[in-house]
Amino acid sequence: MTSTPAAPASTWHDGICVIGQPYPTRNYAADIGDDSDTALGLTETQLDYLRAIHESGHAITVLTARAHLHSAEIVHGEATTEVGGITYACHLADGHAYAIYSAAGERAADRWLHEAGLWSPTRAVANEVAAHSDRASFLAINPHVGFGDKDVHYQHIHDLADQALNTHWAAVTAVASALHQHHHLTGDAIAALTGLPNTPYCTA
């Protein structure tokens, strides 16, 4: 990300706080409360599938980056922690690839909400809040990225992820369906399902 992308067409919103800190959102909702799962207002099956789509977005962008994917998993039903799913990967050394990976879960979930006819501003904001740990991890090592106050706007990271997901959406949905059914998939199983290579794990 050496060039400065254009500013986003629309202003992001500052009305949400996460863990006591301002959390800019692309979409607007007056207040979603403290629980993003509750704010989503989905059935248990829909919530599980949303989690599966999120983790599948991460997983596919690991494989397309030629990094190593260890596994992906989701929580079934009510989550007892803030984490509804997790994707384990390594060797995402390329900055562009890590940017895409970081936003791919959030953007995959937003796209699925649209395609399933479930999207609303409140659900969109709840989905953004559910991705706060992904954003925080990325921003912690990319201090030049922000929300109108830095060299690169975070919406550019969204745009990169959207482009990657558009290219591989069939693979994302195929993996999400399998993850929704099994709740845990190894990286090699995901690679076999999609035909995308899983770069061998290297400890060196």
The domain ranges of the chain are: 43-76+94-194
Question: Mean pLDDT over all residues of the chain?
Answer: 91
pTM summary value: 0.91
CB of 85 closer than 8 Å to CB of 53: no
CA–CA separation, 71 and 186 (whole Å):
4
Here the tokens at position 158 are 């969204």
Name residue 21's beta-bridge partners. Answer: 18
Phi–psi pair at 61, nearest 5 degrees:
-75, -20
- CA of 116: how far to CAs of 56, 109, 144, 157, 183, in Å? 16, 10, 35, 24, 21
Q: Which residues of the chain, if any, have pLDDT below 70?
A: 1-10, 78-82, 202-204
Tens of pLDDT, residue by residue over 132-174, are: 999 999 999 999 999 998 999 999 999 999 999 999 999 999 9
User: What is residue 2's predicted lDDT score, i.e. its pLDDT?
Assistant: 47
CB of 185 closer than 8 Å to CB of 73: yes
